Structure 1
């Protein structure tokens, strides 16, 4: 049996009870070393298999092989395993197996939801999530998604906004969105959401500070109705008040 476990943003209080129970019931814990380190207190008596970024396929194949041997395996993802996590990859690999393994996805709190709670109510209306990582998605496809989502006036949640190898991607994304997003559109920036070193900032679109952002940052850009009230962002849903 393979449990695809989303551990949420990091702190224990943001994990679901189902995620904690699944981890407790598993023999082996498999995951990226950073995520494993966030739950060390829960897995002291478990067999642990951890590796680096870009070794996702190996990680998931190991989980399938262990499950074939009768082990209960938890594959750990940060946030939710079905949102930029490992759930899809395990399912894909499992379709190629003659002896298919039973898989259960355990839901977790994804970064956009965690960050939104910090910022107030920025995603009360239609929203989308776009990753700026072009490791597996061509940049021209990401550009098209940014343009069309902005034109449609979605609230946009940006994952993986900026890294050392992609230092200009976020600036380019804002240049694309600027055609449709007003200068005063609220932008929420949350670094390390739900973790000990959390930081949050609220700025207007025209005053965006790209240097604040890294791969652990979630950015939420409002729609035409979104506004800043004190230190919170509010996106009306349309109630008559």
Structure 2
């Protein structure tokens, strides 16, 4: 839980998820927190997506890979100012909330804070495909910058054994082009090649693209996937809809006649 207000009543740190990036997909509280802020700190890519909300703010831009510096900067500012740390998607799901709160906790700082949730890539992408994540599902990142690849492989193997839909974040980059192929090979141990797969690139952003394919076809050719693509691998019950969407039934068909 956030700490009780300190003697300084004016300072506050809000870690704000802006969702996919489009203004229409931001929560009301996210917009409100940014409007209330004196300082807005974030990666330049995400700040550009909320440009209409930034006039009159002190904007502190940062590049990828400077997350710790960004966290320290916003904590320093929040002692005396209302500060927003911008995070893409949801700040608590592969976002900035973890590092900000970890730095804050280790420093023993007393700063009023809040985490404002946002629409994460799995939710945004799923909405464009239909309803592939209707019940239990797993999200896994294939980025091994912070997690050893051996651990990622172990998690993938356990997840695919469950037979539930799996969303892969950060599936492939120029520096790690082979990670998606490795993940698909693990999936093939437990799922048939005709398993439906959805690809969503730049959900609710400029350049949005969606496609459906199969596990076998994607394993043969994954050229359409990059770091801005979320890969939705269906579970044992997921099927391709007649209109091209993806659907994972929740089980109503076993209980009701319709």
TM over 0.5: same fold? yes
Shift of 1:154: 2.0
Partner of 2:7: none
Shift of 1:198: 0.2
Partner of 1:232: 245
**Which consecutive unaligned segments of at least 5 residues does structure 2 have?**
1-11
Partner of 2:200: 190
Take 1:189 and 1:220, find their aligned partners in 2: how far apart are those partners?
Answer: 6
SS in 2 for 1:212: coil
Q: TM-score, normalised by structure 2?
A: 0.91
For 1:144-223, list aligned pairs within 5 A.
Answer: 144-208=154-218, 209-223=221-235
Q: TM-score, normalised by structure 1?
A: 0.98
Take 2:210 and 2:129, find their aligned partners in 1: how far apart are those partners?
Answer: 8
Take 1:21 and 1:81, find their aligned partners in 2: how far apart are those partners?
Answer: 16
Q: 2:37 aligns with which of 15, 20, 26?
A: 26
Shift of 1:237: 0.7
Rg larger in structure: 2
**Which consecutive unaligned segments of at least 5 residues does structure 1 have?**
none
Count of residues in correspondence between the two structures: 240
Let me know the Cα RMSD of the aligned residues.
Answer: 0.8
Take 1:99 and 1:158, find their aligned partners in 2: how far apart are those partners?
Answer: 35
Take 1:154 and 1:138, find their aligned partners in 2: how far apart are those partners?
Answer: 24
Can you list the C-alpha shifts for 1:9-58, whole angstroms capped at 9, x where unaligned? 01110000110000000000000110011111110211000111110000
